[in-house]
Amino acid sequence: MACPLVLSVAAALAISSSIKPQNVTTGAPNGSRAPQAQVEAPAASMTHEPSAADSGTAVQTPAVAAKQALDALILEYERWVDDQYPEQAITRRRPTAADRITDASIRGFGRRTEHLKVVREELLAIDATRLDAADRLDRDLLLRELELGIRSFEFARWLAPVDARNGPQVEVPQFADHVAFERPEDYVNYSKRFSAVPQSISDIEARLREGRSRGILPPMACMEGVLQQFDAVLATKLQSTGAPLREAAVRYGDLFAAPLLADWERDRSRALDAMATLRTYLEQEYLKACRATVGCWDAPDGAAYYAFELSRFTTTDLTPAQVHALGLSEVARIRAEMLEVIARTDWAAADPARGALEPDVRFAAFIAFLRSDPRFYHTSAEALLSGYRDICKRVDAELPRYFKVLPRCPYGVREIPRFMAPQQTTAYYMPGSIAGGLPGWFYANTFALDQRPTYEMIPLALHEAVPGHHLQIMLAEEMTGTRHFRKGIDSTAFVEGWALYSERIGIDMGFFRDDPYADFGRLLYEMWRATRLVVDTGIHHLRWERQQAIDFMKANTALSELNIAREVDRYIAWPGQACAYKIGELCIRGLRQDAEATLKDRFDVRGFHDAVLGAGPLPLPLLEARVRAWVATEAAAAPAP
C-alpha cells in the first residue's frame, strides 16, 4: 500500500506486517492541550498474555518480561541521549550534565556509535512477537533510529563539519540563543559550557584534517563565503556570548557575576584563537583540497551514500530515477497551473497580447516582470519583518477551524543574524520549548531585500511558522502518552512534507482567493520543491554540473537568482534532504484525497489533521497506516443508511 500520489512512480511503500496501524483519538476541540497518542486495543491475535498480577502468581510471562525489558532499555537510551547531547536536553529542561557540551571529537563520535551498536544488539534480543502493537511500533522506530545513526557514522560525512551553513563560525556566535536563564545555576553552567568551546573548535579542526586524509571533502561550491563568515565572527570578538553573564550582574550583582565574567573573558580569548587557527587552516590547506565536482557520486562510496540519504530523508525505497521522474511530472503539472494564475493577474489584463504569447515566452516575460517591479519588494528590514508578523497573526486566528489541538508554546518572528545572512536561505525555523521557557522562532532573511519578494511571504509564513513547522514540532514536543524518544524521530519527509502541505491549507483559509500574485507565490513555492526532486537527483545521480541545476530552476521558478544559487549550493551540501518535502507532501495530500473520497460529507478536516499529527513524526509508511486506520474507524462509525 502506498501514499496515492507517490504510487505513480513507486511500486509500494511497504509497511511491516508486524506493525498494526494505530487508531488515535485526537483530543478536545478547544485547542487547549497537546495530543495524546492512544493506541486501539490489539486484535485478538495480538492480545496480551495474562500477567502475574492477573493470575495471582509470581510467574513472569514472556510478554511481561519482553515489555519490562523494552521499557528499561528505552528509558536508559533516553537518559544516555540526554547525557551525550546536553544542549538539546537543556532546551527541554531534561536532566543532564548541564555544565558540558556535546563531545565534538573523533573519539566522541566513535564512542557514541559503539554505544548505539550495543543498544541495537540489546534491542534485537527482545522477543518482538511478545510485545503489543504499541510497544512493537516503538521498538521498530527505535531500531530504525539506531541503524540510521550507525550507518551515518560509517559513511563518515561527519568528518566534513564545516561549510557555509554549518561549523563553529555559525554555531558559536549563537551559543547563548535558545537557552533559558531562570536560576543562578543556569549562569554558572553556561559559563562552564562556554569554557569547553575552544577545545570543541580544535576538535572540529581535527575532524577536518582526518576527513581530508581519507578523501572525505566537500565540494568547493559548499565552501563559498566561509572565510568571510569567519572574518565577520572574529570581528565581533564573540561579544554576544557574554550577554547572559552581563545580565547576571544586573540580576544577582557583581559579586556573583564577576568570577563568571572573568572566566568568560579568558575562554573567549581562547575561543577566538582557536577560531583564527581554524580559519588559517581552511584558507591555506583545506579549501585548496576541496572538490571541483558537486555531486556526491565523486566522493568515497558516493552512490551508496546517496542511496542511503535518499532513503533516510524520504523514508521510502524510491530510487533516484523514480524521484527524478516524479519531479519532472510535478514540474509539468504545476507549470500548467501557474499559467492559469498568470491569466488572472493585472499584468495579463494590461496587455491582451500577452495572453497570445507562446506559454514558455509568456512565463518568462511574467517572471521578468515579477523580478523587476518594485511593488513586490520591501525597502527596509523592519517592513519585511512586520509583514511576516502581520501574516502570522492573521493565520493564528484561522487555526481553530482546522485543528482540534494547538500547541501551548508561542512563537515569534526574527531576522536571521546579519553575519550569516548572505550565505543563508530565505528563512528557517528554530523550535521552542514550554519546559525550557523558550518560544519558537521563525527566522527571516533581511539581506538583499530586492531578492525577497512579497508574493512569497504568505506561503513562507505558513510553512515555517503555523500551521507548518512551529505547530507540528511543538505538538510533538508537548505530546503525552508516548515515550520521549518519539518526539525527535528522524523523519524529514513527515516534518517537511507537513510544512509544504501547510502551504496548501492557506487555500482553505482563503489567503489566495483574491490575490493572484500571492497564489502564484504559493505555486512558486510548490514548484520550488518539485524542482528539488529533479535537481537533487540530477546533481548526485545524473552528474549534473552546478550551472545546469541553476539553469533548470531559473527556467521553472520565479525565485531570485541569489536564492536559486543558495538553494543549489544547499542541495550540493545536503544530498537527498531536499527531496523529502515533495515526497512527504504528496503522501499527505493523497491520504487526504482518499479520506475525503471515502468519508464524503462525514470527512472532518480537523480530525484528519489530528490523525496526521497526533503521534508525532513518523516514517511515511507508518503515517499511512495510521491515517487509514482513522478513516476506517470514522467510516465504521457512520450510521446505517
Of the candidates 238, 272, 46, 44, the one whose C-alpha atom is nearest the C-alpha of residue 137 is 46
Dist. CA 441–CA 464, nearest whole Å = 9
Percent of the chain past pLDDT 90, that is, above it, reads 83
CA distance 299 to 590: 36
Tens-place pLDDT, residues 376-387: 999 999 999 999
Q: Residue 40 above 80 pLDDT?
A: no
pLDDT, residue 641, reads 63
Residues 72-122 have pLDDT tens digits of 999 999 999 999 999 999 988 899 999 999 999 999 999 999 999 999 999
Can you give the pLDDT at residue 3?
66
User: C-alpha grid cell for residue 524?
Assistant: 512558486
In this prediction, residue 32 has a pLDDT band, given cuts at 50, 70 and 90, of: very low
Read off the DSSP letter of residue 576.
Answer: T
Average pLDDT over residues 262-275: 98
Q: Are 53 and 67 in contact (CB under 8 A)?
A: no
How crowded is residue 519: how many other Cβ atoms within 10 Å of its Cβ? 24
pLDDT digits (tens, 9 = 90+) for 1-13: 356 545 443 433 3
Determine the average pLDDT of the residues in 155-167: 96
Instruction: Please name the amino acid found at residue 322.
Output: Q
Structure-derived torsion over alpha carbons of residues 100, 103, 107, 111, reported in degrees to the nearest 10: 80
Other residues' Cβ atoms within 10 Å of the Cβ of residue 557: 24
Give 125-141 pLDDT, tens digit per residue: 999 999 999 999 999 99
468/525 Cα distance (integer angstroms): 14
Tens digits of residue pLDDT in 435-447 = 888 999 999 999 9
Residue 196: pLDDT band by 50, 70, 90 thresholds? very high
| Dihedral Cα 482, 483, 489, 491, nearest 10 deg | -20
- 437 CB neighbour count, 10 Å cutoff: 14
Q: What is the mean pLDDT of residues 444-458?
A: 95
427 — phi, psi (to 5°)?
-165, 165
Mean pLDDT of 138-165: 97
pLDDT class of 59 with cuts at 50, 70, 90: low
Query: Is the pLDDT higher at 516 or at 418?
Result: 516
Residue 309 backbone phi and psi in degrees, to 5: -65, -40
pLDDT on residue 28: 33
- Of residues 343, 462, 460, 443, the one with CA closest to residue 394: 462
pLDDT of 57 reads 52
CB 471 within 8 A of CB 403: yes
**Which residue has 508578523 as its cell numbers?**
389
pLDDT of residue 559: 81
Over residues 621-634, mean pLDDT: 97
State residue 640's pLDDT score.
Answer: 63
User: What's the mean pLDDT when you consider all of the chain?
Assistant: 90
Rounded to two decimals, what is the model's pTM?
Answer: 0.86
- Span between the terminal Cα atoms of the chain, in Å: 29
Digit-coded pLDDT (tens) for 216-226 = 999 999 999 99
Residue 620 confidence (pLDDT) above 90: yes
The position carrying cell 536560576 is: 183
pLDDT the model gives residue 423: 79
Query: What pLDDT is stored for residue 6 in this prediction?
Result: 55
- Under the banding of pLDDT at 50, 70 and 90, the label for residue 50 is very low
Q: State residue 92's pLDDT score.
A: 85
Asked if residue 14 has pLDDT above 60, the reply is no
3-class secondary structure, 386: helix
Peptide bond into 29 cis (omega under 30): no
pLDDT computed for residue 300 by the predictor: 95
The pLDDT value given to residue 37: 33
Candidates 405, 487, 418; CA nearest to 449 is 418
Residue 97 · residue 83 · CB < 8 Å:
yes
At residue 43 the predicted structure's pLDDT band, cuts being 50, 70 and 90, is very low
Q: What is the pLDDT of residue 425?
A: 82
Average pLDDT over residues 145-167: 97
Higher pLDDT, 561 or 361: 361
Given a cut of 80, whether residue 465 has pLDDT beyond it is: yes
Strands (E), 102-201: none
pLDDT higher than 80, residue 153: yes
Residue 96, φ and ψ in degrees, nearest 5 = -165, 175
| Whether the Cβ atoms of residue 84 and residue 112 lie closer than 8 Å to each other | yes
How many C-alpha atoms does 511 have within 13 Å on its Cβ side? Answer: 30
pLDDT at 36 over 60: no
Residue position matching grid coordinates 557555509: 164
Helix (H) or strand (E) holding 441: strand 440-444
pLDDT for 24 equals: 31
